[in-house]
Structure 1
């Protein structure tokens, strides 16, 4: 009976430990958990990555809001020094814990920060003489083509350890998980461009539907297939009349009147008819 109770206690303790480890990131610097931003990491949550630095000297294990498998409880980023493909003894350092997390987001990027790592030994000493704790910054950059989580390959960008405070390890991961949805119409399109596209589409539909109707139903041929052909023929004259009516402000001239010349304005020579010379004397 005692063995059964002991087994049950161990089992319950194991479940509690697993539940604690699977609780995810704890954002101690936020009044409330930034759930809207954290949702972008749902696809990546629980996955871990292993990557070497550019010099091949250090190996890093990175886990997203879950502890690294096989490591201590709550470890988010782990550093190990490598030599000839093997881990150098006593060179394993905890870079950051998921229990001290922070998150920052932008338009096409998101940064996950793990703090409370092991203290430096000789680098990054505070002005008080105390060593700074290690910290990891994981930069997620939008890449629509990187949809396969298992194929993601982090990049070790830099280790900033020459400051008095805020020393950190910077990692970069290109992934589609942090890409925000784009609107159907590009943001760079102006309202005028959109209206022009709509107008062209409506005109093309009007012309195509009218031609098909007149060709099939009315058996029209040639230019007579164009819808409202009589209106379009007179369209130029109608525009000219409208422009003349609206734009010309001066009073229209009436028709010229031709008045006869009075007799008093004619001279004696002009008054005589040229037929007078033909009369018999």
Structure 2
């Protein structure tokens, strides 16, 4: 039984826990996009005397943003660095959930359905006014894990960024990590039971219910399941009876 427990524990560790931003999963018509696929990347772009660093749907590494005499604000997903002296210039945008407003805004690429997704950031300041950053992620199957982006500023404090990436293409539906875990767990339980029964039958010469491995545990588990069903049924029935009694009393009044 301990072997099965350790196998389950290993599965929990190897399956990636989905802690990514739900806002970075967007659906437009039949097309589903997931920019969380880019959240582990640091994408760079330059324009004039500035370098721009973007980690889509993730926290940008502050050590890439240049030196700063003050602490960085939490939640930065993009930053601006002054190239000549490698000095931090300003934040370009923040992730949702860090107290900045408005939240990130997403639209499908205006070039047409299935061609990519647009992310708009307006929650950082530029010369004490709103900074507008339009990031267009263009679907390009030939570029995976991009590291470069094109940046254009104009007019002042309004930025247009273009990122070409295969990860910006519509997501192809597939089996989820949770479903894979359930399938593997089910298969392991079947293997455990079959091997245990065969061992008890032919090695231990057990018969009847005695061939079930760890029989006392499974009987206890079954009893707990039955007790849980009874408790749930009684709880629902009592709630229904109280509701019916209250309604009847109200109508009589």
Greater relative contact order (CA < 8 Å, ≥ 6 in sequence): 2
TM-score (norm 1): 0.41
Q: Which has the higher helix share?
A: 2
Flag the structure with higher strand content: 2
- Of the two, which has the highest radius of gyration? 1
